[in-house]
Amino acid sequence: MKPFFVIGTRPEIIKTAPVIREFEDKRGIRCFLLHTGQHYSETMSNAFFEDMDLRAPDMNLNIGSGSHSEQTAKALIGIEKALLKEKPDIVLVQGDTNAVLSAAIAAVKLHIPVGHIEAGLRSYDQRMPEEHNRRLTDHASKFLFAPTERSAEILRGENVWGEIFVTGNTVIDALEMRLPAAMKAPLPPIAEKLGEFVLLTLHRAENVDDKATLQGLIRGLGEIGVDIVFPAHPRTVARLKRFGMTKMVEETGKIHIIEPVGYLSFLRMMKECMFVLTDSGGIQEEVTSPSINKRVFVLRTSTERPEAVESGHAMVVGVDPTKFPTMIKREIERGLDADRPCPYGRGDASKRIADILTERLP
């Protein structure tokens, strides 16, 4: 059996690592690992192979940054060439990035089955490039690994062609696998100095590419009245510079921007923080792990992770600065600690995926 994995960005490295290790380390099945190179900065790519204890990719297409079509097309051509050479039994992708869509298209055109890890998520927000990527990939896939029964139900409702399996989310596997090492990792100096802090990430295109929305978010975040440590995605740093907003962030006196941190430091911060503010997808899932169990306020108008809302971890607070600071302050007053169930599985999603594929493929 020859699995062919395609990854392109930070979260794909994290969430795919436990699946690759399940094949290679536990079953002795060598995988081909192609990195499209969509993420390429040391702090967005290499650092994660180290932190996930994952071997280097077999190939890097170095596609870099660009428009959606540029990234998708460059990756499509490179992946096709690699597939023709490697002749794998299956192409495995995770999530909803441009790398995922490119790999799915390249594979189905060559009649190679696609397995989609984290299938069936829907935000129903058509502004999001990820919503198109995940929908198209789900409909091109032969194996759909839905993290929850709810996402499986969405796929059934859309009459996808492939077979649906509920597996849990591999993010829980990754987190449980690396948390012991994370607890020995240093906290970034500013987090150490503050002692009590809130963790923020912000990078969604619909939030940071629009000046008025980004201004509103910074203003509102400054009004919550808590110290916020913000490992900022390069996209957000670039937009803050382009919109001349770096000073505005400093003037809040509350938002402390740092470079993106590796996975181990990030997990440690997630474990130690008061609560999380984010527009990330993966972070909404990670906070639900029983080892973390934190509240997360989702700075978006929708979420494709409603399970985390139902479990009591997440609250979608929107991006309106006249509303979200008050909503968050009210929740802080009510108290943030509670027992909550994890909706994303028990940390065995990777094993289930590998079991299903080894049973069904030659």
Interacting residues with ligand UDP (CB under 6 A): 10-11, 14, 201, 203, 231, 260-261, 263, 266, 280-283, 286
Say how far apart CA 262 and CA 147 lie, in whole Å: 25
- The answer to whether residue 44 forms part of the interface with ligand UD1 (CB under 6 A) is yes
Backbone φ and ψ for 248, nearest 5 degrees, come out as: -60, -40
- The answer to whether residue 39 forms part of the interface with ligand UD1 (CB under 6 A) is yes
- The answer to whether residue 318 forms part of the interface with ligand UD1 (CB under 6 A) is no
- The one of ligand UD1, ligand UDP, none whose footprint includes residue 38, by CB under 5 to 8 A per kind, is ligand UD1
Residue 333: how many other CB atoms lie within 10 Å: 8
Q: Which residues contact 326 (CB under 8 A, 6 or more apart)?
A: none
- The one of ligand UD1, ligand UDP, none whose footprint includes residue 324, by CB under 5 to 8 A per kind, is none
- The one of ligand UD1, ligand UDP, none whose footprint includes residue 40, by CB under 5 to 8 A per kind, is ligand UD1
> Which of 9/94 has CB closer to ligand UD1?
9
Say how far apart CA 347 and CA 176 lie, in whole Å: 7
- The one of ligand UD1, ligand UDP, none whose footprint includes residue 234, by CB under 5 to 8 A per kind, is ligand UD1
Smallest gap from Cβ 314 to ligand UD1, in A, equals: 16
Say how far apart CA 39 and CA 116 lie, in whole Å: 20
Q: Are 125 and 306 in contact (CB under 8 A)?
A: no
Contact code string over 118-147 relative to ligand UD1, x by CB under 6 A: -----------xx-----------------
Six-digit token string for 174: 């990754």
> Which of 112/285 has CB closer to ligand UDP?
285
State which of residues 97, 169, 288, 350 lies at the interface with ligand UD1 (CB under 6 A).
97
- The answer to whether residue 231 forms part of the interface with ligand UD1 (CB under 6 A) is no
Q: Are 175 and 266 in contact (CB under 8 A)?
A: no
> Which of 100/328 has CB closer to ligand UD1?
100
Smallest gap from Cβ 219 to ligand UD1, in A, equals: 22
> Which of 88/281 has CB closer to ligand UDP?
281
Q: Are 83 and 48 in contact (CB under 8 A)?
A: no
Smallest gap from Cβ 282 to ligand UD1, in A, equals: 8
Q: Are 4 and 84 in contact (CB under 8 A)?
A: no
In angstroms, how far apart are the furthest CA atoms of the chain?
A: 60
Backbone φ and ψ for 71, nearest 5 degrees, come out as: -65, -45
- The answer to whether residue 303 forms part of the interface with ligand UD1 (CB under 6 A) is no
Q: What is the dihedral angle through the alpha carbons of 134, 314, 195, 325, rounded to the nearest 10 degrees?
A: 110
Six-digit token string for 224: 């919550």
- Residue 4's DSSP bridge partners are 32, 91
Catalytic residues: 203
> Which of 249/283 has CB closer to ligand UDP?
283
Six-digit token string for 142: 């032969």
The residue ranges that bind ligand UD1 (CB under 6 A) are 9-11, 38-41, 44-45, 65, 96-98, 129-130, 203, 233-235, 238
